[in-house]
Amino acid sequence: MAMYAETMLVPAIPDLIRDFHISYSLSSWILTTYLIAGAIMTPIAGKLSDIYGKKKMLLIIMAIYAVGVSAGGFVTNIYEMLAVRVLQGIGMSMFPIAFGIIREQFPLSKLAIGQGIISSMFAAGAVIGLVAGGHLIQHYGWQATFFSIIPIVISLLVVIQRFIHVGQPHPHWKGQGTQSVGNSSKNGLDIIGAVTLAVSVTAFLLALTFVENGDSVGSFTMFGLLVIGAVYLALFVIVERKAKSPLVDMKILMHKTILPSNLLIMIVGLSMFMVFQTIPVLVRSPLPLGFGGDPMSFANVQLPFALVLLIFGPTSGFIISKLGSTKPIIAGSIISTVGFASLFMYHSTELFVSVNLAILSTGLSLTNVGAMNLIMLLTPKQNMGVSLGMSTLIRIIGASIGPAMAGMYMQINKTSVPGIAGTFPTPDSYNLIFLTATIISIVSIGLAIVLRKTIPKGVIHAS
């Protein structure tokens, strides 16, 4: 549902830029605000699910999300849009709770498959969202995307209440996953940690907005935000090391295998949302700067990306259950790098972009499922909510950076087209975006190799 909602809105980014009279850099906050809210709430929700129960927290978060999507179709300016996106972003914190339920209820041998099925549901939502979103936006306007989600959210609330039962964990987990890492208490909530984390993440991402200005005021503001972000990040680490019940358990986070796994997940999030911010603008910008397409044209270009995610979600789970996690992670990192490098060199036609997105999607699927599987195997049951919350937090931080970076490049490098109002990103902006993504993907290959060398010998299905 969440990916259905997100991908329905993605084709509308050029329309929102036009209707709200905003810059490309500011438009990135339509995605980034949603992601920041998710980043802040995810570890909190994970902790609360450990304390008060997964089903109860899932219902509360779904209700908040329902309010956000219901209000989305009525906004009239960018600030109202960002406000409802905050409410929708809180809904992202349901993901680690869902993964925690999977971890408890599935046997160890089926864990990767269950996780792959969940991942494929993300992709299924993306496929439906792209097709439906392109049609709705083209014929009824972007407001219709929000209205179409309301009955789905209400139906899911009823289904969760009546049919989701969280009881005792599967017998296969008795005595397993409790000695690996970490020892967080389930008592209390780390409010100070939540505040310092919120300020740090927001300051760092706001700093990217001022890169485009190129004047002394913008540079001073950007530097000030970076300093604030760094100071609050340091405070966050200090608070978490001393807290009796930390929001982010540093012992779990810094584990020699969990840390590179989380960094890989961060790169997956960054890559995916950089694509979501960039491709609709490329497809819908007028010739010769873009492809001159409409919302349905964008949906057709992006569809192979989502279809491959749909296929490789469960397939990756089966592959990992047979081969272990690290080989698919290494293969996925290499394939992702090839996909972005090919996008950098060949993005002059819709066909080239679609094929390269399909390659990229294959790599991201393998990397994501493999890394998440390792984290679930190595985290003790009593810390599962916090650990998965941290992993989702790190993915969301990466996803927040992706559109902010893309928006920055597009805002810096733009020009006009004779006879058409407004300015549009130049080819240089897309080259910079895809080159940056390629370099980051190369880093993921190094992380995958490091991960292969740090896997504990006793971890089942890990090597």
What is the DSSP annotation of 334-374?
HHHHHHHHHHHH--SSHHHHHHHHHHHHHHHHHHHHHHHHH
Residue 447 pLDDT more than 80?
Answer: yes
27 closest CA partner among 14, 40, 43: 14
Distance between CA 184 and CA 8 in Å, rounded?
A: 39
pLDDT computed for residue 234 by the predictor: 95
pLDDT in tens, 390-444: 787 788 888 888 988 898 899 888 999 998 988 999 999 999 999 999 999 999 9
- Residue 75 DSSP code: -
pLDDT in tens, 82-93: 999 999 989 878
Residue 320 pLDDT more than 80?
Answer: no
Is the CB of residue 53 less than 8 Å from the CB of residue 107?
Answer: no
pLDDT in tens, 333-391: 999 999 999 999 999 999 999 999 999 999 998 898 889 888 888 777 777 767 777 78
Is the CB of residue 113 less than 8 Å from the CB of residue 317?
Answer: yes
Q: Please tell me the pTM assigned to this model.
A: 0.81
Is the CB of residue 46 less than 8 Å from the CB of residue 390?
Answer: yes
Residue 268 tokens, joined: 């997956």
What is the arithmetic mean of pLDDT over 298-317? 81
pLDDT in tens, 157-181: 898 888 777 755 555 545 554 444 4
406 closest CA partner among 385, 431, 376: 431
Question: Which superfamily is assigned to 2-190+243-454 in CATH?
Answer: MFS general substrate transporter like domains (1.20.1250.20)
pLDDT computed for residue 268 by the predictor: 93
Q: How many CB atoms lie within 10 A of CB 188?
A: 12
- Residue 286 DSSP code: P
